[in-house]
Structure formats: C-alpha cells, structure tokens
C-alpha cells in the first residue's frame, strides 16, 4: 500500500482527475460500440478485457458496469466478476476508506454532499460514495432518495455515487460492497465514503470495511445521549455534531463537550487514537475542512504506528472468513439433497417426532456424501 499522500495538492499537479477523463470515456465508449458493430464478431474483445481496460483508465461507465457485474446474482456473472477482480486487485488498496453512521436524519447524506464536494473541488481527489444497507431486499429505495439528496455531488465529474447493493444467493451485501470498493480503487478513486443506511447491523459491518469511522449526531442530546448505544460510540474514530448552525450553534458546542466527556472514558476505536468530538454544519459547509484535517492526522498517526496496515490485514482476514461462511450457507441450502430433505425434517421437528440434533446430524451426513 502506498503511503497516503498528505499533500493532496499532488493530485492537482498531476492534473487531477480532470473533467476530461469522464467526458472522454463516454465518447470512447460510444465510438467503441459503434466501431464494434462493423467488426467481425470474433474480433470483439471479451467483456472482461473491455471492463478491465475501462476500469484502469478510470472510466466511470466501465466502473458502473463492473459493479453491476459484481452485484449480479447469476452464476456465470459471478465467475466473470471474480476474474475481473483478480485482474484489477494489484491496482486496489490505495484509497482512504471512510465510514459514516448516524441516526436517520442526522444529516449523513448532506454531510457527504458537502464533504465529498470539498474533497473533489478543493483537494482535487476523486471520491466514490457507497451505501450499505444489510436489510435491503429490493433495489432502488433509499438509493434513489440519496441520489437526489446528493444532487450536487452526483453531478461532480470527480465523484461517483452508487446505491446500496441487495443481497442474494452469491454472497451478501458485505461481499458486494467490499468488492465494489476494490473496483473503485482500481478506477483511481482516492477516497471511498461508505454511508450506513438502515439500522442495526450496518455500523459493525461498515466499521469492518473502513480505515476511519465517524458518527454523526445531533444536538439536544441530553436524554438521547444517555440512551445512545455505548457500543456505537466505541466504534467511532470521531463524533461530529452536525447542524451546528443558526440558533443551534451554541447547543451544538454544548453537545460536543458532552460527547467528548463520554469518549474520554471509552476504549478508543483505534489503538493510539483518542477519539474526539467536533461540530460542523453540512448545510452551510462549515467545519468540513476541519473534519478532513482530523482524518489526515489520523492517517499520519496510524500509518506511522503501523495500526493502519494492521487493521487492513485484519479486515482481509475477516473478509476471508465471512466469505467462507457465506459460501457454506449458500452451498448447503442450495444442495439438492438438503432441499429435498428439509421440508420433511422440518415437519418431524415441529411435530416433536425427532430431535433437532439428530436431524441436523443426518442432514450433514447426507450433504457431505452428496
């Protein structure tokens, strides 16, 4: 992993991800398609080659198609997607991954809109925004909403926004989001922001995927602060009190101090990094630059101490085991013998004719013989 370049001006010097990149890619794409219809069929490059080329050239359309391939639940798409990932993997792992959580309405999308635009326009970074919603069964939904809320960022040529994938038989939301991160990195995105959508499990899932995790909260905490799950605060590398504007400014500072007191007594989410609280206004774009400074400091500190690399290695290991669990689950329940036996076994257990232990043992015996 290359050292994160603290002086992001470097992106500007190297020309940054200019508007040209995407405009050209679109033109490229259409001329390719046009050209192809005149060529003999066998000369048509296989889609994987095409996607790999487009992806490594930073073409947004290739990235979108590659992600669609990853998200597909079709068996042959799965194989093709894995081949593509294998090819681009050497180009991945070079971004900063940031996770954002907070109660609905805390302003996560608005924050990402301001923060993402700042990174693109002021720092010259390429920013990808992904969403994780473990409960999402249908596509569309929250994403459509988010895309409209992140209108400005969605139009920014340096940004890429992707809705939350849905789960399916070839792996859940985690696999798809992690693999999408790899694709974004291969396409040259410098910062990947993952917003948690939905409640419950998503905070832990996202914490396990990112380098830096932030909790966005609202003022007027008081009772809410007391009732807030300590567990979530323990995951956060920083707490940001959002909507610190207008009449809310003073209250936001008070809330910040309260959170900071609590953070002081908690185990830090990242070894050697005491989590602190800050205020910002996503709507009025105040305090946004300061959040980036905190993240930069975090990267410098954790890269120097080795904690950054160590976390990524642990995440890779965790990913391996979650993939194994996924595969075991889908293979077992997808096997013909299990499908055939389960309904009867289920009835036997419900009727009290057989014990759960004995039927599970029989199921696995038959499954492993298959």
Ligand X SMILES: Nc1nc2c(ncn2[C@@H]2O[C@H](COP(=O)(O)OP(=O)(O)OP(=O)(O)O)[C@@H](O)[C@H]2O)c(=O)[nH]1
C-alpha 187/C-alpha 197 separation (Å) is 24
Give me the least distance between CB of 223 and ligand X, in Å please.
20
163 or 188, CB closer to Mg ion?
163
Tokens 């920083």 locate to 238
C-alpha 87/C-alpha 39 separation (Å) is 26
Give me the least distance between CB of 149 and ligand X, in Å please.
5
- Name the closest residue to Mg ion (Cβ): 109
- Name the closest residue to ligand X (Cβ): 107
243 binds, among Mg ion, ligand X, none (CB under 5 to 8 A by kind): ligand X
106 binds, among ligand X, Mg ion, none (CB under 5 to 8 A by kind): ligand X
Closest CA to 277 of 221, 217, 203: 217
Quote the DSSP letter at residue 48. Answer: H
Give me the least distance between CB of 110 and ligand X, in Å please.
3
Closest CA to 24 of 69, 54, 65: 54
- Are 29 and 59 spatial neighbours (Cβ–Cβ below 8 Å)? yes
102 binds, among Mg ion, ligand X, none (CB under 5 to 8 A by kind): ligand X
C-alpha 362/C-alpha 356 separation (Å) is 10
Give me the least distance between CB of 165 and Mg ion, in Å please.
16
Residue 120 has, within 13 A of its CA and on its CB side, a CA count of 25
- Are 240 and 280 spatial neighbours (Cβ–Cβ below 8 Å)? yes
167 binds, among ligand X, Mg ion, none (CB under 5 to 8 A by kind): none
Give me the least distance between CB of 211 and ligand X, in Å please.
21
Give me the least distance between CB of 206 and Mg ion, in Å please.
13
Q: How many helices (H) and strands (E) does the chain have?
A: 17, 7
| Sign of torsion over alpha carbons 273, 276, 282, 285 | negative
Residues that bind ligand X (CB under 6 A): 102, 104-110, 149, 242-243, 245, 281-283
69 binds, among ligand X, Mg ion, none (CB under 5 to 8 A by kind): none
Among 70, 95, 99, 108, binds Mg ion (CB under 5 A): 108
Among 109, 117, 166, 302, binds Mg ion (CB under 5 A): 109
Give me the least distance between CB of 70 and ligand X, in Å please.
23
- Are 129 and 149 spatial neighbours (Cβ–Cβ below 8 Å)? no
3 or 289, CB closer to ligand X?
289
109 or 238, CB closer to Mg ion?
109
Count of all residues that appear for the chain in the document: 370
113 or 190, CB closer to Mg ion?
113
Closest CA to 239 of 227, 225, 249, 250: 225
Residues 6+ apart with CB under 8 A from 364: none
Give the binding range for Mg ion (CB under 5 A) out of 31-39, 100-108, 229-237, 297-305: 100-108
162 binds Mg ion (CB under 5 A): no
109 or 136, CB closer to Mg ion?
109
Give the count of residues interacting with Mg ion (CB under 5 A): 2
For 182, the token pair is 């790899």
282 binds, among ligand X, Mg ion, none (CB under 5 to 8 A by kind): ligand X
Closest CA to 147 of 116, 181, 184: 116
Give me the least distance between CB of 278 and ligand X, in Å please.
13
Give me the residues that bind Mg ion (CB under 5 A), please: 108-109
């Amino acid at each position: 992993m290359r050292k994160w370049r603290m002086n992001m001006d470097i992106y500007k010097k190297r020309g940054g991800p200019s508007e040209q990149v995407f405009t050209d890619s679109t033109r490229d794409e259409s001329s390719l398609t046009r050209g192809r219809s005149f060529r003999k069929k066998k000369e048509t490059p296989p889609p994987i080659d095409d996607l790999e080329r487009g992806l490594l050239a930073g073409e947004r359309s290739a990235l979108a198609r590659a992600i669609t391939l990853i998200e597909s639940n079709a068996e042959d798409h799965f194989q093709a997607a894995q081949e593509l990932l294998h090819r681009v993997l050497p180009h991945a792992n070079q971004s900063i991954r940031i996770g954002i959580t907070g109660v609905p309405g805390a302003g996560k999308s608005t924050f990402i809109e301001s923060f993402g635009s700042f990174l693109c326009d002021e720092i010259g970074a390429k920013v990808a925004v992904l969403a994780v919603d473990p409960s999402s069964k249908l596509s569309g939904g929250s994403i459509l909403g988010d895309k409209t809320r992140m209108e400005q960022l969605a139009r920014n040529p340096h940004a890429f926004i992707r809705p939350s994938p849905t789960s399916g038989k070839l792996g859940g939301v985690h696999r798809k989001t992690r693999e999408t991160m790899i694709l974004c990195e291969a396409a040259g995105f410098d910062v990947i922001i993952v917003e948690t959508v939905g409640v419950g499990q998503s905070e832990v899932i996202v914490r396990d995927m990112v380098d830096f995790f932030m909790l966005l909260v609202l003022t007027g905490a008081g009772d809410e602060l007391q009732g807030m799950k300590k567990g979530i605060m323990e995951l956060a590398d920083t707490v940001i009190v959002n909507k610190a504007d207008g009449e809310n400014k003073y209250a936001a500072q008070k809330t910040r101090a309260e959170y900071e007191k609590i953070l002081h007594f908690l185990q830090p989410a990242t070894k050697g990094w005491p989590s602190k609280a800050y205020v910002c206004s996503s709507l009025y774009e105040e305090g946004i630059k300061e959040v980036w400074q905190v993240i930069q400091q975090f990267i410098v500190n954790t890269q120097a101490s080795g904690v950054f690399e160590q976390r990524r290695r642990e995440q890779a290991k965790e990913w391996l085991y979650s993939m194994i669990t996924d595969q075991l689950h889908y293979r077992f329940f997808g096997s013909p013998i299990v499908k055939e036996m389960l309904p009867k076994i289920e009835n036997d257990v419900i009727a009290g004719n057989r014990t759960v232990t004995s039927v599970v043992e029989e199921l696995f015996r038959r499954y492993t013989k298959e």
